[in-house]
Amino acid sequence: MAQPPRPHAQRPRRRLVERDRLHPVSARLGNVQFVRKEDRVIPMHGGAAFEGVLNVVGYSGANATLLPQSQQQGALVSLGTGLTSQEGYLVDFGTSFLMVMEFTPQGPRANAVLSYSQNADPDSPRFVDQTELFSGKQLRPILFEKADILADPALVTTELVVDNTSRLE
């Protein structure tokens, strides 16, 4: 005679082995995963590709630019995940440019963000502005029309003058 199925409560349970003993599984992601830009700690969403996310972020430890390494961190517990001994999960790579675009009868309409911002100079207002937008899941408009560009309060115009004594090579 066949045995009746065992109730769910009697099935063997798998246990989650947590390498991160500092943060409970119930912690909000933004409280434990972050980007550091100088003295600012900015919560970062996303995850590893194996987790099935489209917004892939993580930790590499490699400095992929000629600029100085900008993120200082505590001792790493896990090189693979970026888990630090005291703070959580440091993010230093992943989604870098995100854009959504719609083609309308009036022309294109688009929004975008550079998730790690545009400037490496900590004194620049462009050092963290877009990282904070990305952290807040916000995008900035992309302006296509001349009137919209000229009406932008953040517009800065730089005029380059080339005269006949200038030499372009």
Domain definitions of the chain by residue range: 29-151
Residue 150 has pLDDT above 80, yes or no: yes
Residues 60/92, Cβ–Cβ less than 8 Å: yes
Say how many C-beta atoms besides its own lie within 10 A of residue 20's C-beta: 16
**Whole-structure pTM value:** 0.71
Given a cut of 70, whether residue 100 has pLDDT beyond it is: yes
The backbone region for 150, taken as left when phi is positive above 0, alpha when psi lies in -120 to 50, beta otherwise, is: alpha
| 3 state DSSP class of 149 | helix
pLDDT band at 20 (very low <50, low <70, confident <90, very high): low
77 has a pLDDT exceeding 50: yes
